[in-house]
Amino acid sequence: MKHTISVLVENHSGVLSRISGLFSRRGFNIESLAVGPTHDPSISRITIVADGDDHTVEQIEKQLNKLIEVIKVKTFGRDEFVARELMIVKVNAPAEKRSEIMTIAEITGAKVMDITLSTMTLELCDRYDRLCRFENVIEPYGILEMARTGTVAVERGSDYFSPKKGS
Amino acid sequence: MKMTVSQAMVECLKAEGIKVVYGYPGAAICPFYDALLSAEKDIRNILVRHEANGGHAASGYARITGKPAVCIATSGPGAVNLITAIATAYADSIPLICITGQVNTDQIGSDVFQEADITGAAEPFVKHSYLLKDPKDVGRAFKEAFYIAGTGRPGPVLIDVPMDVQKMTLDFEYPKKVDIRSYKPTGKGNYLQVKRVTEALRSAEKPLICIGGGVFASNAQNEIVELSETLNIPVITTMMGISVFSDDNPLYVGMIGTHGMKIANYAVNACDTLFLVGARVGDRAVKTPLDLERTTKILHIDIDPAEIGKNIGADYPLVGDAKQVLRQMLDYIKKNPEGCADHSGWLRQIEENKVPTEFAQPVKGTVNPKEFLQKLAERMPANVNICADVGQNQIWSSRYYFKRGGRFLTSGGMGTMGYSVPCAVGAKMADPSRPTIAICGDGGFQMNFMELATAVQYGVDIKVIVMTNTRLGMVRELQTIGYNDRQTGVFLDGSPDFVKLAAAYGIPAIRVNDEKSEKEAIERLAEDKGLLLAEVVVDKDFPTL
Ligand SMILES: Cc1ncc(C[n+]2csc(CCOP(=O)(O)OP(=O)(O)O)c2C)c(N)n1
């Protein structure tokens, strides 16, 4: 089962390698990992989507907490969070296919970033599963290149995830 | 005060009460060594003969003092040599401060001479690490390093210092306080859970206490003895928990595990409630944790939440420092003295299943190592510290050398051959009042005998017992049992004459191969002042159990 884990860490060099090392060393499977700054410049936020049963996820959480530079870890329960991921995809788009692709873009909410005589580059920011569906429908046109950021997520509702350890 | 980073590093060590460091120098750590020389009145600088042994010696020292101990290596090969000791300490939760030199800051990443990314390479085996690039971080890094290494679940912390940084100057003051927002180890246990665990334990019909190395890490020996005696509950240990209980305590059953005592493993299977204290249920201690989990109520105290539920599911998890939690339990019992079941029937059941030890007659020209160790223990004072290496000799030492107040030190988690002699050097220096014996095989000894020189040089009075079976005995036995006796790569032909080898170091030595020499050796191990080596000749096919 997939789990979305948010991790607040000290914004130090080397933190990311400690975390990714931990995952490979302990045999945890990462689906995606996204890292970026937060409104507090001393803190970075890492969002990890990982695969595993409840026992594995509990271990992931505990092992992450053991890293000194990890301030707080939270695994989101189902429907407890809102999440987005950005995908950029460059697809074969000869003149006769362009309008079909445009229709798909319109339905899915993808935007055209770039266009050439033979290709189109589309961006779509959405949930992981919707990106996958988008990929499926665009695939037959011939994907030339694709990049995804990995999921980022925050808690739904008025509660928020703050750097105070514990809870 | 204005000073160089190297001087500041020395001030940090002094402020932490460090009296001795174990190291091996090289160009990249020379500025720090220079500063150490100026402080030689306060800090003894011990030159070991291999960096890993410096780490093991610091480990022995740390285990006896209960505080972080310091080892030092230069950049590149020196630092990389240290890794075995770091990993060994990590596996057994031993607090070490490992200081390494690094190439100049502007050369990092360019593969210059003797550059190794040691913070990267050691990452899986450290509790934390620092690469000091800014001189003004030195005080904070050291303060944090000592705090992190010695608190919570202890472990090694690495501080890597580029050579140019060591030479920089700063206005230095050692921080008085440490505050790491992301590191707040738990001390006391949750009160309600303490109550539940205590009730579950004392109301059980057949409870059993299992002690791991965490009891030493938390210095909770007295508390656990008091608890088991108060509730009249039998006790088993993992290899790391050996010597918390005196072997002659009637509640002590023995060590569990693959190489454990039959009766201890019997007790684990027969109990209805198992109380794990600072024991992580490693695979060598409990082979089938899932079976145990199904049949037995598991109560588990550990300071590391990640250990609870990792190898065995716990019905009653309790995160906290063993000493504090056990104190809480004892307080609770004092206030609520009712409710302890009668465990005498259960104790009798264990007693009745004990089988007396019988020693086989040794092959001519050899001695029975088990019997030798038992006799030695009877003759030695009670407070001996035993440093056992790895292999058959380790199992014999754990089972047959009776502990009555001294420590049993070994590499339990990593099983690192060569640990014993350097560990003994450190342990003896930490507490010179205790006789200290290293016990190893002829394989392990050839991985660490260079430390005899260290012992001679600094007058460290240890006794060394080398059990020579001319084989890597434990692997030989594995091949005998598991590979149809196809013995390969286990023959120690070409080994030196160990008595003569000792003589080359100026160390008196005795070969033990019959009853007479056995008697003499035991007498001398107990009475001789100064270093002594005893080569105990063991039959090549002598079984571990
Ligand atoms: C550094 C290291 N290398 C290899 C091993 C694997 N190993 C475990 S026991 C053993 C045999 C040890 O032989 P010896 O030191 O002669 O002791 P004995 O078993 O004969 O008492 C070996 C090679 C190890 N534990 N550590």
Could you report the per-residue pLDDT of B486-527, keeping only the tens digit for each?
A: 999 999 999 999 999 999 999 999 999 999 999 999 999 999
Asked whether the beta carbons of A81 and A153 are under 8 A apart, the reply is yes
Cross-strand pairs, B235:
B209, B252
Q: Specify the pLDDT at position B494.
A: 96
Interstrand relation of B128-131 and A152-155 (parallel, antiparallel or unpaired)? unpaired
- Residue B285: pLDDT over 90: no
Q: Which of B183, B290, B304 to mutate to test the interface with A (most CBs of A within 10 A)?
A: B183
Q: Closest Cα of chain B to A147: distance in Å?
A: 28
CA A83 to centroid of chain Cα atoms: 8
Arithmetic mean of pLDDT, B182-210: 96
Cβ distance B184 to A66 less than 8 Å, yes or no, reads no
Segment B54-66, tens digit of pLDDT: 999 999 999 999 9
Q: Would the pLDDT of B283 be above 60?
A: yes
**Given a cut of 80, is residue A116 above it in pLDDT?**
yes
In the predicted model, what is the mean pLDDT of chain B? 97
DSSP state of B211: E
The domain tally of chain B equals 3
In a domain, B37, yes or no: yes
CA of B419 to the centre of ligand 1 (A): 11
- Phi, psi angle pair for B507, to nearest 5°: -105, 125
pLDDT band at B15 (very low <50, low <70, confident <90, very high): very high
Residue B472 has pLDDT above 90, yes or no: yes
User: What's the pLDDT band for A166 if we cut at 50, 70, 90?
Assistant: very low
Pick the residue whose CA is nearest to atom 11 on ligand 1.
Answer: B472
Flag whether B432 is in a domain.
Answer: yes
The two tokens of residue B291 are 């079976």
Phi, psi at B143, each rounded to 5°: -60, -45
Annotation: CATH topology of A82-152: Alpha-Beta Plaits (3.30.70)
Whether B51 shows a pLDDT value over 70: the answer reads yes
So what's the pLDDT on residue B291? 87
Domain segments of chain A: what residues? 2-78, 82-152
Residues B326, B309: contact at Cβ < 8 Å? no
Among the ranges given (B94-108, B204-218, B288-302), the one the predictor scored with the smallest mean pLDDT: B288-302
Q: Which residues share a beta bridge with B208?
A: B274
Average pLDDT over residues B160-165: 98
Same domain, B223 and B270: yes
How far is the C-alpha of B449 from the C-alpha of B422, rounded, in Å?
9
Query: What span, in angstroms and rounded, lies between the C-alpha atoms of B373 and B355?
Result: 19
Per the structure, the complete domain to which residue B261 belongs is given by 191-352
Same domain, B82 and B228: no
Mean pLDDT for the stretch of residues B389-413 = 97
DSSP string, B439-470: EEEHHHHHHHTTHHHHHHHTT---EEEEEE-S
Between CA B208 and CA B273 the distance in angstroms is 6
Contact A66 B131 (CB under 8 A): no
Residue B178: inside a domain: no
Please state the rounded mean pLDDT for residues B243-259: 95
C-alpha–C-alpha distance, residues B21 and B39, integer Å? 12
Q: How far is A70 from chain B (nearest CA, A)?
A: 6
Q: For atom 4 of ligand 1, which residue has the closest CA?
A: B417
Task: Tell whether the model's pLDDT for residue B438 goes beyond 70.
Answer: yes
Query: Quick one: pLDDT band at residue A165, thresholds 50, 70, 90?
Result: very low
Do B345 and B218 belong together in one domain?
A: yes
Tell me, yes or no, whether B35 and B156 share the same domain: yes
**B486 assigned to some structural domain:** yes
Kindly state whether residues B42 and B130 are assigned to the same domain.
yes
Q: Give the domain-ending residue among B108, B137, B171.
A: B171
Residues 6+ apart with CB under 8 A from A19: A7, A9, A33, A46, A64, A67, A70
Closest in A18, A25, A70 to B182, CB measured: A70
Identify the CA nearest to B12 among candidates B115, B164, B149, B119: B149
- Residues in chain B whose Cβ is within 8 Å of chain A: 119-120, 123-124, 127-128, 131, 148, 180-184, 304-306, 309-310
What does the mean pLDDT of chain A come to?
94
Are B450 and B481 within one domain?
A: yes
Tell me the C-alpha distance between B455 and B291, whole Å.
Answer: 47
Last residue of a domain, one of B352, B383, B398: B352
Residues of B in contact with A9 (CB under 8 A): 182
Give me the pLDDT at residue B357, please.
87
* Strands B463-468, B297-302: pairing kind: unpaired
Q: Mean pLDDT throughout B25-50?
A: 98
Same domain, B124 and B244: no
Structure tokens that stand for B137 in this block: 């971080």
| Bridge partners of residue B529, in order along the sequence | none
Q: Is the pLDDT of residue B24 over 50?
A: yes
Give the distance from residue B153's alpha carbon to the nearest chain A alpha carbon, in angstroms. 10
Same domain for B424 and B291: no
Residue B363 belongs to some domain of the structure: no
Asked if residue B309 and residue B458 are part of one domain, the reply reads no
Which residues of chain B are within 8 Å of residue A65 when distances are taken between CB atoms?
305-306
Domain end call among B141, B171, B201? B171
In a domain, B420, yes or no: yes
**Which residue's alpha carbon is nearest to atom 13 within ligand 1?**
B472
pLDDT reported for residue A135:
97
- Same-domain pairing of B410 and B499: yes
Q: Is residue B543 part of a domain?
A: no
Inside any domain, residue B180: no
Looking at chain A, the whole-number percentage of residues with pLDDT higher than 90 is 85
CB contact under 8 A, A70 and B306: no
Average of per-residue pLDDT across B417-425 = 98
Angle at which helices B191-203 and B322-335 cross, to 10°? 70
Name, in order, each residue with C-beta under 8 angstroms of B172's C-beta and a sequence gap of 6 or more: B1, B2, B3, B7, B8, B11, B138, B139
Tell me, what's the ipTM?
A: 0.91
Asked whether B467 lines ligand 1 (CB < 6 A), one says yes
% chain A with pLDDT above 70 = 98
Q: What is the pLDDT of residue B290?
A: 86
**Chain B: closest CA distance from residue A68 (Å):** 6
Residues B225 and B114 in one domain: no
> What is the reported pLDDT for A163?
85
State which residue of chain B sits closest to A9, comparing Cα positions.
B182
% of chain B surpassing 90 pLDDT: 96
Supply B227's token pair.
């608890």
Domain holding B393: CATH number?
A: 3.40.50.970
* Per-residue model confidence (pLDDT) at position A167: 40
B39 and B132 in a single domain? The answer is yes
CATH homologous superfamily, domain A2-78? ACT domain (3.30.70.260)
